[in-house]
């Protein structure tokens, strides 16, 4: 009887640990949420600030670089209505600078 009580108690503790771990894991933001927060942080940062925003810390370096370039191209006005790079806008901008 004593062994059965210990086994039941150990199983209950193990289940409680698994449930707690699952809840903590489910509460973490998704990778897409981190990317969206990073985009918002890039838009809000002060002009000239080159530091990586804290909201971008969970992103892979390549993904952060892509978001940063997208943000820079948008600031330059080189994107279309769907935020895609528009080569013609870039060329117009460089030709108008003369």
State pLDDT tens for residues 63-91: 999 999 888 888 888 888 887 888 888 88
* 45 within domain boundaries: yes
User: Mean per-residue pLDDT for 5-33?
Assistant: 80
Interacting residues of 90 by C-beta distance below 8 A, sequence separation 6+: 76, 78
As given in the structure block, the two tokens for residue 2 are: 């004593």
Dihedral sign (CA 43, 45, 49, 51): negative
Phi then psi for residue 85, to 5 deg, are -60, 130
Q: Which residue has the higher pLDDT, 41 or 18?
A: 41
The answer, yes or no, to whether residue 34 has pLDDT greater than 60, is: yes
Indicate whether this model's pTM tops 0.85.
no
Please give the pLDDT value at position 1.
62
User: pLDDT (tens digit, 9 = 90+) per residue, 35-55?
Assistant: 999 999 998 888 888 889 999
Domain span including residue 85: 30-96
**Between 62 and 98, the higher pLDDT residue:** 62
Q: How many domains does the chain have?
A: 1
């Amino acid at each position: 009887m004593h062994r059965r009580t210990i086994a039941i108690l150990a199983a209950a503790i193990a289940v409680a640990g698994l449930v707690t771990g699952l809840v903590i894991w489910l509460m973490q933001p998704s990778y897409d949420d981190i990317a969206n927060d990073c985009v918002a942080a890039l838009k809000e940062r002060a002009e000239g600030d080159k530091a990586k925003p804290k909201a971008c810390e969970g992103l892979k370096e390549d993904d952060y670089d892509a978001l940063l370039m997208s943000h820079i191209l948008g600031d330059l006005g080189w994107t279309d209505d769907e935020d895609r790079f528009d080569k013609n806008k870039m060329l117009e901008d460089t030709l108008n600078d003369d």
